[in-house]
Structure 1
Amino acid sequence: MYKIKPNILLIYTGGTIGMVRDPETGSLRVFDFKNLLDKIPELQQLECHVKTFSFKEPIDSSNMNPNYWVQIADIIESHYSTFDGFVVLHGSDTMSYTSSALSFMLENLAKPVIFTGSQLPIGDLRTDAKENLITAVELASLHTDGKPVITEVCLYFEYKLYRANRTTKINAENFEAFASSNYPELAESGVHLKINYQYLLKAPVNLPLKVHKTLDTNIALIKLFPGITETFLKTILNTPHIKGVILETFGAGNCMTERWFIDLLKEAILKGIYIINITQCIAGSVNMGQYETSSQLKEIGVISGRDMTTESAICKLMHILSEGISYKEFKTKYEMSLHGELS
């Protein structure tokens, strides 16, 4: 029986994976993805058709921002009906932010969107770029009974596929650059591809893709530390137009119990500023009320981010803030899992 090959769109936004080293000068320059099959002929062995789309000007991941997130979402939306899966090539430094954001922006997603990148340029002898790219495309093209196996935003790096909004970059030098401490990997690449079907998100049934393109960046991130001062906290909370604050607390959501600290947070909440409590720990969850040092936060109306990553918590805050809903609705929506970002 003739098998129709899936169409995969490869979107290059920038990053190390799209660089090649000039043999004469040793400097890095952007690789022309129109010649992708010449550089990586192995892609022709995959059971899919690969087309490419590149940003006009590649974006270093340190310069990535919500405006570019919207551009990526636009590309996916405009090609959604003609492609069966998408692979987004992106710099690794902010990949967890961008991929987390896309997980909230692409509502009713029923096709794979897989982010990948590399620690070394595609032309280097010991590069990780080829394996990451080839396997990401292979995962995006997986189908069963004519339907895609993966129907969520993912991140593939160094033999593992993760739910994007569960990832954090943990290493700037090793090939194993990412971790998903609070959720198992969705797939693992070895001699065979091992798919952990029980951990995959289920695709929505017959619902059209809805793309959210408005993000509110009037937010702040505060990491608590021993010795944090009243002046510092007051300055942040009194920032003009601020609407939400991610508060990185100790352990299971704990903080100092000094009166000035609690009073400043309470005052901010009464002014309509959302305060989200997430843990500084790489793994684990916020459990407000478990200890006395977090009970007061719960009492004054601080919202629990439970076991979300910082990257996911920030992107979710930007996304829900843009909806302009009431405090009660906001709290309910933020504390529920929208796209698998919470356990």
Structure 2
Amino acid sequence: MNEKVNILIIYTGGTIGMVKEYQSDVLKAFDFRKVVEQIPELRQLGCHIDSVSFKKPIDSSEMNPGHWTAIATLIETHYDNYDGFVVLHGSDTMSYTASALSFMLENLGKPVIFTGSQLPIGDLRTDAKENLITAIQLASLKENNKPVIQEVGLYFEYKLYRANRTTKLNAEHFQAFGSPNFPALAESGVHLRINREYLWQTTPRKKFKVHKDLDANVAILKLFPGMSRNLLEGVLNISGLKALILETYGAGNAPTEAWMLKALKRALEKGLHVVNVTQCPGGSVMMGRYKTSLALREMQIIDGGDITTEAAITKLMYLLGSKVSRKAFKTIFETPLRGEMS
């Protein structure tokens, strides 16, 4: 590289930040301020690396929109001083946080790469070192003095994905994440291969903007055979609820029982936003393809297309927090904002 690239590591918590003390077999916190000393291979990247950590690192199961705002604020504060950011995060809710950040960081012109690990960084068979090193390398890539990656990505086990296309698929394998409906942005092997045709391009000259107002008055309801009327109506009548993701079967199908359709119609008339998202890991909602989804289309339920549940719920929080009008809400949700849907 012609000039030294500045990278900021943001450590929020998670397995990647733990190291085993072999004398006692106890896990203790890894000091990311000394990351280059402890992982000397990083010197080969030619980057200047700084780090900042949450005052109290948290398990990713404890993540909430307040923590997302804290991450976004750190990026906003340091945006002009660094060429790229690597966010270290527990794997359990990483797809939720990374999806949320993709919406919160509008006109992002630099890489924000999420990564973590299944085993602590000091473990004999750890995946943490490779994930961290390659995430930093991806965040440091530049061509013609411009970042190659200009979006929020998630790197895990040799693949970089668009963050808002990911979901955690496995709790035990190193290959913990997948992106069922969108190809990998980059693949790490003997060579680091960037799939440039899939990269998100930020509109030039538009100013970077951070959105911090999120509205968490949302819910997810997964359909299942035998679901009762009381359950559906109980969810639809939750006090303060503004939006609901309905995880339907296959290509967006649902039972056609009169009580179900009437309950949904009443909720829509009261102003509830309902989004149809398939509960299948891959594929897309196509309302009207089958008779069992025709009624949903006719009552103007929002078509989630091939969006993941993680991206759908965080997009709802973002749009509600942005005070999008009811009239425009359906159209805006069905429009790709950060490459989260086809």
- TM-score interval (norm. to shorter): over 0.9
Post-superposition CA distance 1:244-274 (Å, at most 9, x none): 0000000000000000000000000000000
Measure the CA separation in 2 of the matches of 1:332 and 1:207. Answer: 23
Aligned to 2:242: 243
Task: Show structure 2 runs of 5+ residues with no match.
Answer: none
Aligned to 1:205: 204
Aligned to 2:189: 190
2:244 is paired with a residue of what secondary structure? strand
Range 327-336 or range 27-36, more displaced: 27-36
Q: Cα offset for 1:202?
A: 0.8
Measure the CA separation in 1 of the matches of 2:27 and 2:235. Answer: 39
Q: Cα offset for 1:104?
A: 0.1
Q: Cα offset for 1:49?
A: 1.1
Measure the CA separation in 2 of the matches of 1:26 and 1:234. Answer: 51
Aligned to 1:260: 259
1:130-145 to structure 2, matched below 5 A, reads 130-145=129-144
Range 283-292 or range 41-50, more displaced: 41-50
Corresponding letter in the other structure for 1:281: C
For the 8 Å contact 1:166–1:308, the answer to whether it is kept is yes
Aligned to 2:11: 12
Post-superposition CA distance 1:210-263 (Å, at most 9, x none): 000011000110000000000001111111000000000000000000000000
Aligned to 2:107: 108
Aligned to 1:288: 287
Corresponding letter in the other structure for 1:249: T
For the 8 Å contact 1:109–1:204, the answer to whether it is kept is no
Measure the CA separation in 2 of the matches of 1:32 and 1:324. Answer: 41
Measure the CA separation in 1 of the matches of 2:286 and 2:334. Answer: 12
Aligned to 1:150: 149
Q: Does 1:304 align with 2:294?
A: no
Post-superposition CA distance 1:143-199 (Å, at most 9, x none): 001000000000000000000000000000000000000000000001110000000
Q: CA RMSD in A?
A: 0.9
Corresponding letter in the other structure for 1:70: T
Corresponding letter in the other structure for 1:46: L
Q: Cα offset for 1:325?
A: 2.4
Measure the CA separation in 2 of the matches of 1:56 and 1:199. Answer: 36
Range 182-191 or range 326-335, more displaced: 326-335
Measure the CA separation in 1 of the matches of 2:325 and 2:210. Answer: 22
Measure the CA separation in 1 of the matches of 2:46 and 2:265. Answer: 57
Q: How many residues align?
A: 342
Q: Cα offset for 1:38?
A: 2.1
Runs of 4+ in 1 over 6 A off after TM superposition: none
1:15-26 to structure 2, matched below 5 A, reads 15-26=14-25
Aligned to 1:61: 60
Range 322-331 or range 150-159, more displaced: 322-331
Aligned to 1:75: 74
Corresponding letter in the other structure for 2:53: S
Corresponding letter in the other structure for 1:131: E
Measure the CA separation in 1 of the matches of 2:28 and 2:230. Answer: 46
Range 188-197 or range 200-209, more displaced: 200-209
Q: Cα offset for 1:328?
A: 2.2
Aligned to 1:170: 169
1:81 is paired with a residue of what secondary structure? helix
2:80 is paired with a residue of what secondary structure? coil
Measure the CA separation in 2 of the matches of 1:61 and 1:196. Answer: 29
Corresponding letter in the other structure for 2:74: I
Corresponding letter in the other structure for 2:17: G
Aligned to 2:226: 227
Q: Cα offset for 1:25?
A: 3.1
Aligned to 1:318: 317
Among all aligned residue pairs of Structure 1 and Structure 2, give the percentage whose two residues are the same amino acid.
61
Range 206-215 or range 242-251, more displaced: 206-215
Measure the CA separation in 2 of the matches of 1:256 and 1:95. Answer: 32
Measure the CA separation in 1 of the matches of 2:24 and 2:327. Answer: 59
Q: Cα offset for 1:28?
A: 1.8
Q: Cα offset for 1:31?
A: 1.1
Corresponding letter in the other structure for 2:338: H
Corresponding letter in the other structure for 1:34: R
1:248 is paired with a residue of what secondary structure? strand
Task: Show structure 1 runs of 5+ residues with no match.
Answer: none
Measure the CA separation in 1 of the matches of 2:274 and 2:202. Answer: 32
Measure the CA separation in 2 of the matches of 1:266 and 1:326. Answer: 19
Range 200-209 or range 187-196, more displaced: 200-209
